[in-house]
Amino acid sequence: MRRTAAEAAETRRSIIAAARASFAARGYTATGTTELVEQLDLTRGALYHHFADKADLFAAVFVEVEQELNDAVNAAASAAAGDGVRASIVAGAAACIEYMGRSDYRQIAVADGPAVLGLDRWHEIDRSIGLQSMEAGLAALSTEGELATPPTPALAAALFGALTELGLSHACGDLTADDALAAFEVLLDGLAPHG
């Protein structure tokens, strides 16, 4: 009997959820596809119908984690929008740093992501999902007259890179979330008009 598109989509979601839990708890290397298909009561063929190999499955999990991070940032920024653009950006940055400190994020995105995906692909996925939020924030600051320089792609990349590094430093235990956010706010304040 042929499966419907909805059933196939549900199977894919189930595979990603099980893989995500295993990657987060055990890491990429210790996660076996045999255990995943047994846990889900699937055939290996069903797994490989949706994903070319374990690395492809990991990439889907990584995209999901990065999308969740971006959604958390946007939700926090939207919730603080009534307090002004700067407050909205800071709230989004705080949500980013907090999310990056999670153990599942550390294992999937920090420990395994660059090794499994390669640094170029890891960076491209991260940038493609999160950079637009930073660009939108800087454009809003500029519209409000709170940015001393035009909101260029280079400026967005620089601030996004700084926030990413602060989040990674927090994820690795090198900085507290408060210290990371305070440093981000210093950078953001440096972009404001002075005079």
> For the chain, first and last CA: distance in Å?
72
pTM of the complete model:
0.91
Please tell me the predicted confidence (pLDDT) of residue 6. Answer: 87
* Strand boundaries in the chain, DSSP class E: none
Please tell me the predicted confidence (pLDDT) of residue 98. Answer: 97
What whole-number distance in Å separates Cα of residue 127 and Cα of residue 160?
8
pLDDT digits (tens, 9 = 90+) for 62-88: 999 999 999 999 999 999 999 999 999
Q: Nearest CA to 164 among 123, 135, 136, 192? A: 123
Per-residue model confidence as pLDDT tens for the chain (195 residues) = 456 888 889 999 999 999 999 999 999 999 999 999 999 999 899 899 999 999 999 999 999 999 999 999 999 999 999 999 999 999 999 999 999 999 999 999 999 999 999 999 999 999 999 999 999 999 999 999 999 999 999 999 999 999 999 999 999 999 999 999 999 999 999 999 986
Please tell me the predicted confidence (pLDDT) of residue 1. Answer: 42
What whole-number distance in Å separates Cα of residue 110 and Cα of residue 113?
6
Please tell me the predicted confidence (pLDDT) of residue 7. Answer: 87
What whole-number distance in Å separates Cα of residue 102 and Cα of residue 43?
32
Residue with tokens 């404001």: 192
For the range 81-84, what are the long-range contacts, defined as Cβ-Cβ under 8 Å and sequence gap of 24 or more? Answer: 84/144
* 150, burial (CB in 10 Å: exposed 0-12, middle 13-18, buried 19+): exposed
